[in-house]
Structure 1
Amino acid sequence: MAFGSVLSILGLVLPLLSVNGLRTKRSLCPDGVNTAINQACCALFPIVDDLKENLFDNECGDAAHGALRLVFHDAIGISPSLGGGGADGSIATFNETELTFHANTGIDDVLDAVGPFLQKHSNVLTPGDFIQLAGAISLVQCPGAPRIPFFMGRTHPVAASPPGLVPEPFDSVQTILKRFGEVGFTSDEVVAVVGGSHSIAGADDIVPNEQGVPFDQTPSLFDTQIFVDVQLRGTMFTGQGGQQGEVQSAVAGLVRLQSDHLLARDSATNCAWQSFVNNQPKLAAAFGSGVLKLSLLGQNQAKMTDCSEVIPKAIPFTGGPATLPPGQTMNDIEQACATAAFPSLATQPGPATAVPQIPQAV
């Protein structure tokens, strides 16, 4: 596509205590409005405003969900044995290659939305930096989501990611944990990153002829409802070629990925999954640490500039506790963790109604 060719022409862990981190005096930026500890970060303020207002429309909607998905699909493209640049922007620069990977189905729509902004600001940010900045900004559009640090300084990608590095919805838990484990993630971190991201997400390519089908009842709120909705009893579907990839949700209007269904039930991950139910602070902290870790895959943080100060404040969590859908009781929870009882939940008043689809970005 044209987007990829334009990029080709352009050539296009946790926070580290550093000298930058010890500086606290803020100076006025050249725009005469913003201030920054590091003047190198001043050029990012207008980009942040542009993305908030013109890409995300200041809401936790389809564009914000897509930007977060792009963070993951770009960053996970690295392997100690197969290579890849990690969070380097290769999924944008070499999209003609990476979009042929089955796991990246639907990413073309995300790039179509994000691409014009990436090109517009390519004089300031490399593709890798842009994707991670957009992801950090997307999170603070969603009430309850954490504000994650942003480090600038990724070089231009030099090659496409090797195929087969992005986990898929029909992968086994063992396959998913092995893939994440190759790049340093524990099973608990996998549950936090996968479950947290699906709290504010929907499926565009799972249900035939439908887009924006939510994974939980509150797709515009970063909360723990996903960990309840997935734990309700459901029926596994078998797709083409015998591959499983979708589970009939107990809640009308939702779709459940096989990978989520299994993470909530496998002995390696089920107690971690259950532990997030109605523990919003724990989820926000674990998810924030996990996404930061993703954003630094393949990068040398010591050589990067900490521009976390440009990320807007997070929106406080204002929702209530996770609940059972109308007509459901605790007997509808498929208990999996053997060492702790599932938290007792109230049932929403009825009658039950279908969860609406997420409005698609125009």
Structure 2
Amino acid sequence: MAFKTLAAFLSLAATIQFSNAGLIRRVTCATGQVTANEACCALFPIIDDLQANLFDNGECGEDVHESLRLTFHDAIGIGSNGGGGADGSMSVFEDIETNFHANLGVDEIVDEQRPIFNRHNTTITPGDFIQLAGAIGVSNCPGAPQLNVFVGRPPPIAPAPDLTVPEPFDSVDSILARFADAGNFSPQEVVALLASHTVAAADLVDPSIPGTPFDSTPEIFDTQFFIETQLRGTLFPGTGGNQGEVESPLRGEIRLQSDSELARDSRTACEWQSFVNNQAKIQSAFKAAFAKMTILGHSPDSLIDCSDVVPVPKPNTKAATFPAGLSNADIEQACATTPFPTLASDPGPVTSVAPVPPS
């Protein structure tokens, strides 16, 4: 009797397991790609268009950097003073929002994305498109996490207000308060979001050198940004005295005042340092913070999870190191509880960083 009962239980368990597997059965789309939700099939032609006509067939280049920047500038437009969050208002109300000081230069990527969006505007909303483009672009960067993609955002109804995007000359107090107001982001989540600077460059902080990277490997999503921001600054990449810029340790690299201060503030310094030589943590923390940011202004229950349409990025094979000519002796220790990790230094002459070429 006991054997029969056990056999019946195992049979029932197998039936339940099979049924659950059926509930998550994957769908083959008309385009041949596979996804867990048929509603996500409409994204594959958009992804192919983005990769071919914006991201140079899968490169981690300037348009990837700018598309990632756009995801943030659109999403952070929310808070106690209004705004719809990640709703595409940056694109729909471009003439208004891209004239805000913090958004200067964003119009370039909005205009580059527009022809692609217009080819698919019957199947995707502006907010969905901006966040999709950012996630797909990042997937081209070795070492990046596979970011989440959600669809179902309604079109925006009004522009976001001014002064929602933190500026590089803002204080740490101001930056942390803005993130808390926008979405109850913790200081640790703010640091995680700044992992975007590992694959980013600045165009307007120092107008004399457009495309100035924030670290020595702007084509790889890695921990170098968190290492190099902690090094003692000694020079400017171009002209000095620019608002929101402080000295950097490498010729050709730019350091934002806000990055420098967050790396050294008691509320964020230890979290900043924790990303050094910890690729797994930078991936998981950025993925979680990005997922939270990308749905600002929307209920998760109202959105469809299409994250499996995002390609899995290639791994990062470069070890975390100090740039050539620099070492632990050049670190400005800011975390009071944990020493800075000991790293090797790259061989060769003192490192210089080349500007990111325009697309």
TM over 0.5: yes
How many angstroms apart in 2 are the aligned matches of 1:210 and 1:114? 24
Cα shift at 1:111: 1.1
1:117 alignment counterpart: 116
Listed as ranges, the matches of 1:43-82 within 5 Å are 43-57=42-56, 58-79=58-79, 81-82=80-81
2:188 alignment counterpart: 188
Q: Is the 8 A contact 1:170 1:243 kept in 2?
A: no
2:306 alignment counterpart: 307
How many angstroms apart in 1 are the aligned matches of 2:322 and 2:22? 47
314, 324, 330: which is aligned to 1:332? 330
Q: Deviations over 1:72-109 (max 9, x none)?
A: 00000000x21100000000000111011100011011
Q: Deviations over 1:155-196 (max 9, x none)?
A: 0000000110100111111111001111110000101101x1
SS of alignment partner, residue 357 of structure 1: coil
Cα shift at 1:273: 0.5
Q: Is the 8 A contact 2:92 2:126 kept in 1?
A: yes
Cα shift at 1:235: 5.6
| Structure 1: 5+ residue stretches without partners | 1-19
2:230 alignment counterpart: 231
How many angstroms apart in 2 are the aligned matches of 1:176 and 1:102? 16
1:360 alignment counterpart: 358
How many angstroms apart in 2 are the aligned matches of 1:47 and 1:204? 28
Cα shift at 1:21: 11
Q: Deviations over 1:234-292 (max 9, x none)?
A: 2698xxxx984111211111000001000111111111111110001001000011111
Q: Is the 8 A contact 2:205 2:243 kept in 1?
A: no
1:213 alignment counterpart: 212
Aligned AA (1:188): Q
Listed as ranges, the matches of 1:112-151 within 5 Å are 112-151=111-150
Cα shift at 1:345: 1.4
Q: Is the 8 A contact 1:148 1:308 kept in 2?
A: yes
How many angstroms apart in 1 are the aligned matches of 2:206 and 2:216? 17
Q: How many aligned positions are there? A: 335
How many angstroms apart in 2 are the aligned matches of 1:21 and 1:201? 41
How many angstroms apart in 2 are the aligned matches of 1:259 and 1:145? 23
Q: Is the 8 A contact 1:236 1:246 kept in 2?
A: no
Q: Is the 8 A contact 1:236 1:244 kept in 2?
A: no
Q: Is the 8 A contact 2:235 2:251 kept in 1?
A: no
Please identify the structure whose Cα radius of gyration is greater.
2
Aligned AA (1:100): N
1:179 alignment counterpart: 178
How many angstroms apart in 1 are the aligned matches of 2:326 and 2:282? 24
Q: 1:259 and 2:258 equivalent?
A: yes
How many angstroms apart in 1 are the aligned matches of 2:146 and 2:140? 10
Change (3 A) 1:21 1:324: farther
1:344 alignment counterpart: 342
How many angstroms apart in 1 are the aligned matches of 2:21 and 2:96? 38
Q: Deviations over 1:106-132 (max 9, x none)?
A: 101111211211212111110000001
Aligned AA (2:85): G
Cα shift at 1:308: 1.5
1:15 alignment counterpart: none
Q: Is the 8 A contact 1:236 1:258 kept in 2?
A: no
- Which 10-residue stretch deviates more, 63-72 or 111-120? 111-120
Q: Is the 8 A contact 1:132 1:150 kept in 2?
A: yes
Cα shift at 1:329: 2.5
Q: Is the 8 A contact 2:214 2:254 kept in 1?
A: yes
2:272 alignment counterpart: 273
SS of alignment partner, residue 143 of structure 1: coil
How many angstroms apart in 1 are the aligned matches of 2:314 and 2:288? 18
Cα shift at 1:353: 3.9
How many angstroms apart in 2 are the aligned matches of 1:90 and 1:126? 11
Change (3 A) 1:54 1:153: same
How many angstroms apart in 2 are the aligned matches of 1:358 and 1:271? 30
How many angstroms apart in 2 are the aligned matches of 1:312 and 1:98? 31
How many angstroms apart in 1 are the aligned matches of 2:35 and 2:52? 21
SS of alignment partner, residue 244 of structure 2: strand
2:23 alignment counterpart: 23
2:152 alignment counterpart: 153
How many angstroms apart in 2 are the aligned matches of 1:86 and 1:302? 16
1:203 alignment counterpart: 202
Q: Is the 8 A contact 2:87 2:154 kept in 1?
A: yes
Change (3 A) 1:329 1:34: closer
Aligned AA (1:30): A
Q: Is the 8 A contact 1:204 1:213 kept in 2?
A: yes
TM superposition score normalised by structure 2:
0.90
